[in-house]
Structure formats: C-alpha cells, structure tokens
Structure 1
Amino acid sequence: MNIPKSKIKDYSLAFIGLAVVISLIAFVDDKASVRRCKNIDIELIDNNDQYYISTEDIEKHVTRNGNEPLRGMLLADIDLSTLEKRVKEIRQIEHCEAYGDLKGNIHIKAKPYIPYARVISSNGKDQYIDEEGRYFPLSKLHTERVLLLTGSYFNKQPDLTSEDEHLMKLVHTIRNDDFWNAQMAQLDMDRSGNIKFVPVLGDHIIEFGAPTNIEAKLNKLKVYYKQIMPVKGWDKFSTVKIQYKNQVVCE
C-alpha cells in the first residue's frame, strides 16, 4: 500500500512533536528531582483570628525542633504525607494539607480546632471542646472566653461526642446566641445530668435541670431577665428555677 507523501510528512511531524513533549516531560521530571526546598509556607485557616498555636510551633514540630530541616532538601525526598501526619500529631490541629510548587516551596495549610467551651476538670487538667464535643488541649498563646463546664459529670467523660447530644445542643444554643453567650459564665452538671448555670451578672444560681426543652426554658429565663429582674433587682433572689413546666420559681 502506497502512503501519500503528505501523510508521511504529517506522521513524521506528529512523531517529532510527541518526542519533543516526552523529552520536555523527562527534562521537567529531571529538574524536579534535583530541585531543593527553598521555603516553608505555613498557613492557619478558618481560625477565627484566634491563634491557639503559631506557625512557628508547627514548623518546629514538623522539623523535630530543627533537627530534621526541610529547607535545602531535595523535593523528591520530602514525603508530603509524612508532613501532614506530623502536623496532625499536634492536638490543637483538626486538619492539614501539604503540597509543593514549581518554585521549590512547601506549603502547609493547617486548620486548628475552635473552642466552644472549656471543661474544668477536678484533676486540674483543663481542656477545650470543639463544636462536635471533642477535647483538645489549651493553648499557651491564647485563652478564649468561652462557657466553662464544671461538675462531676465531666470527670467520667472521655469526650462529649457520642452520648451527649442534648448537652451539646445546649452548649451550641448558648454560644450562638449573643444574649446568652454574654450572660452565661458557667454550666455545672452533676452525675445525674442536672444543670445549674452561674451567670456573669448577679449573685443568683439558675437551676436548669436536664438539658431538655432547651428553648422553652431559655424563653422563660429571658422573661425573668427582661421583666422581673428590672423590677425586683439583680440581687433580690439567690436561686431561679426554670426546670418546671410553664413556671419560673424564684427564691
């Protein structure tokens, strides 16, 4: 079979083009294999401008306090998955992603946990909880003003993720409401699950009962704060009970 000369020319040009592309890829791969790490760029994402851990702390951890430096290493010798695992070893970090670029930089994006409340333990080891009820350590860089969780109930809990749906709903409700977030300082829960609140203002204690019927109870309490307290005064009562249906009991 005779192939037209024009076709032969087209095939030859295509072959040459493919060979050039393959050569360029091989050249780039070869350059990448000898390229060295120039810089480490660490970014904290979704941290609400609260720095519970610093970028310097993260770099120290992934480089084992500088004993295993990344700068100057061949990029081909840097295991990005190992870097991610090292960052996730830091208990204040929820998620991490590491990648390199063509300029020789290693980028590490780390997402820290955001505290929703602080558990005050009887053994003196305080911890934060995140929005899902997972414990993580305090920070040496920042102390967040959040609801304090105290009481014997928390001494036995490894976290608040599995069997504490109603409690976490109450914590979320307090945190996400400007009025209650500003008013409530402490939530004390005993072993049977009954809750008392210590407010920021006033010397009274709020007996909430079990973390159920949350909206109804808080609505009653808001009526007390907005209608009764302005008339009776902040220090008129020492106890405000809202656990009973359709009533507020003040003593």
Structure 2
Amino acid sequence: MAKPTLKYLRPVILGALWLGVLVYMVWAGISVCRARRVRQVRSLEIEVVDSTSQGYLVTGRQVRSWIAQSGIGTIGTAVGEVDLHAIERLIARNGFVERVVAYVSDPGVLHVKIAPREPLLRLLTDGMNAYVTSAGYVFAAPRASSLYVPVVTGSYRPPFPTDYVGDARDYLDERLRQCDERIAELERSKIPVYRREQTYENEYRMIRRERLRRRWWKGESAGAFDKRVEQLREKKAQARRTWRYRTRVIRDELERIDRQQEAELRKQKKLEKSYEDFMKLLTFVETVEEDDFWRSEVVQIAAYTTPSGALEVELTPRSGSYTILFGRLEEVDRKFDKLLRFYRNGLSTLGWDTYRVIDIRYDNQVVCKK
C-alpha cells in the first residue's frame, strides 16, 4: 500500500511547490508596483554617448531643457507615473538622435541615454545646411552644435529637399514609387481610348459591309437604284474620312500618353543618377577622411553639377593658395596618386604658390594654370 501513496504524493508536492512559486511571483510583482507608486524620482542623469572625437551634436543641458519645457514629470514624480515612452519620443523626434533609452534605477534615478548619429560631412550647398551620415541619413544641423566634419559647399543640389530629414534612399524610393503609380495611372487612361478606337473600328466596318440590292418587288427603276448606290458610296467615303480622322486623333492621344510615360521613366533615371552621385560624394569624403595625409591636406570640398548633369568637385588644399580641379568622382584613387606624385616631383621643386589652378581631370596628365 505504500507504493501507491508515494505515486500520488509526488505530484501533489510538485504542484504545491509551483503554486508557492506562482504566489511569490505575484506577491513580488504587487510589491514592486506598490513600491514604484510610492517611491519618487530623486535625480535625473543624462548621458550622451558619443563614440567620436568630432565634437558634440547635443548636450545634457539641452536635453534637460527639452524635458522641462515639455512638461513631462521627472524629479518629484512617482516612479510609476513617469512617462518613459514620452521622454524617448520627445528626444527621438530630433533627426540627429539615433537611439534613446529612458529608465529608472532602484535608488530613484531617472536615466536617459542618448546615442547621436555620427555624421560624415556637412552639406552647405544650394540652401542646404544639414549633416549626412555615411549611410546617407540626412538631418538638419542643430543649433549650438560643435562638430568638426568635412564641409561640402558649391551649387550641388542633392536628391532631396533642403528641409528633408531621413534616409536619402527612403526619399528616393518614395519618389520612384510615385513615378510608378503615375505610369500605371497613365496606362489605365489608355483603356477608354482603346475602347473608343474599337467602337470607331466596328462602326466603320459595319458601313463598309453594307450592300444594296435592286428592289424589284417595289418596282424600283434603274435610275433610282443607281442613285441609292451613289448615296451609299458617298456615305462610305464620308465614313472613311471620319474613321481616318478619328484614328489620327486616337493615335495622337496615345502618343501623348506614351510621351508622358517616357517623361516619368526619364525622371526615374534622373533620380537614380542623382542618388548615385550623392552616394559617390559620400564615398569620396570617406576616402579623404580615411587617409591621414589627405584628411589634413583637403580643407574644403566644393561640389558642382555640370550642364550635362554630372557631379564634379573642386578641392581647396592646406599647402597652397591654389584650387584643385578633381572633376568627376571616378577613379578616385588613381587621381589622388597622380596628384601626390605631382606634389612630390613638381610642386616641391617649383614652389607651392607657383600655380593658381591644378587640373587632374585628364588621364595621365596634370594641367596647371598660373
């Protein structure tokens, strides 16, 4: 009899243990919630995580000002009533903030950790005043920011509006999607035109098929029959003229729609080319920044769009009062190697102020102007 008793006793003991664990977890949760309702936030600590030595985009003092102006309760507010998500949304709405986390630790300290984006360059072209990351994320330069990054000036127009904040690829994809929708809309507009064309074709075909027979049973004379034949000929001739005119109108309308679709396709290609040039510019700046010599030598980058639509850059060096015409952002390493050889074998002998313009746009040669 002892074995059956042990058989049923083990599940009872395990069930009691699990019930005890469950009761404890519920009690602990209730205790924590009660403690959070009673305990208040005693201090606010803001940490701006900056992995670069370029300067800063935002300071803890600025973040404190944002939170204070928002009216979100912090110090003196019960821990359970602090709207952590509202604090994170308030800070994250600034485009230069990549990540923000807000939480309260046990002593009643409200922590706000902010990771700003790491800009690669600053665009000061054609009304732009924005920072851009190496991945192509664009955000407006915040006030009172102190950041040392390469500055790109000139008349270059990037593939997004001056007030745009976000990933440049997202903006491009949205524009391409709009073009696709427009092309599809234009394609749908052809349907009623095709239907009209088919209707006109059927009407003309029916007239062409009309035939006349002499009405012997009505005593129709030959002259009367010839007259009806002439009338039918005139009717068919008129129908043919009308059909040709309508066909020409239909063709012109379809060609007009085709031209609109081709314009949208050209717009898409232009957008893709503009984005490609933009990413080439970012890659070019990365190349300059990764090289110790060129990072210290290149003081300013000026970008321009040529009449043909190509992107070209000019460089302002630190070593002399001349301008380097770099040209298109193609074969960048080869051009820099050529320029470096000219530095060592030419300017170091002739003098750094000998020329006013150094042009390295052409293959296997350096053209200089005084």
In structure 2, what is the equivalent of residue 31 of structure 1?
A: 35
Structure 1 residues 233, 78: CA separation in 2 closer, same or farther (over 3 Å shift)? same
Q: Are positions 1:63 and 2:68 aligned together?
A: yes
- Aligned-partner Cα distance in 2 for 1:20–1:219: 71
Structure 1 residues 47, 154: CA separation in 2 closer, same or farther (over 3 Å shift)? farther
- Aligned-partner Cα distance in 1 for 2:281–2:21: 66
Identical residues among aligned pairs (%): 23
Give 1:206's match in structure 2, choosing from 324, 328, 348: 324
Q: Are positions 1:236 and 2:241 aligned together?
A: no
Give 1:128's match in structure 2, choosing from 131, 138, 144: 131
CA RMSD of aligned residues (A): 2.8
What TM-score do the two structures reach when normalised by structure 2? 0.60
Q: CA deviation at 1:157?
A: 4.3
Aligned letter for 1:27? S
8 Å contact kept, 1:116–1:130: yes
Q: CA deviation at 1:115?
A: 3.2
Q: CA deviation at 1:62?
A: 2.5
- Aligned-partner Cα distance in 1 for 2:51–2:20: 52
Q: Are positions 1:109 and 2:113 aligned together?
A: yes
Structure 1 residues 43, 250: CA separation in 2 closer, same or farther (over 3 Å shift)? same
Structure 1 residues 3, 27: CA separation in 2 closer, same or farther (over 3 Å shift)? farther
Q: Are positions 1:52 and 2:166 aligned together?
A: no
8 Å contact kept, 1:39–1:106: yes
Deviations 1:120-154, CA, capped at 9 Å, x for gaps:
2444x633322233333335444333322111113
- Structure 2 unaligned blocks of 5 or more: 170-274
Matches within 5 A, 1:1-251: 3=5, 10=13, 14=17, 15-16=19-20, 18-49=22-53, 50-64=55-69, 67-123=71-127, 126-154=129-157, 157-158=160-161, 161-162=168-169, 163=275, 164-192=278-306, 193-251=311-369
Structure 1 residues 69, 231: CA separation in 2 closer, same or farther (over 3 Å shift)? same
Name the structure with the higher helix share: 2
- Aligned-partner Cα distance in 1 for 2:61–2:73: 13
- Aligned-partner Cα distance in 2 for 1:18–1:199: 71
Q: Which structure is larger by alpha-carbon Rg, 1 or 2?
A: 2
Which segment is superposed worse, 214-223 or 111-120? 111-120
Deviations 1:137-191, CA, capped at 9 Å, x for gaps:
3354443333221111137743794411211110111122111111111211222
- Aligned-partner Cα distance in 2 for 1:105–1:20: 27
What TM-score do the two structures reach when normalised by structure 1? 0.85
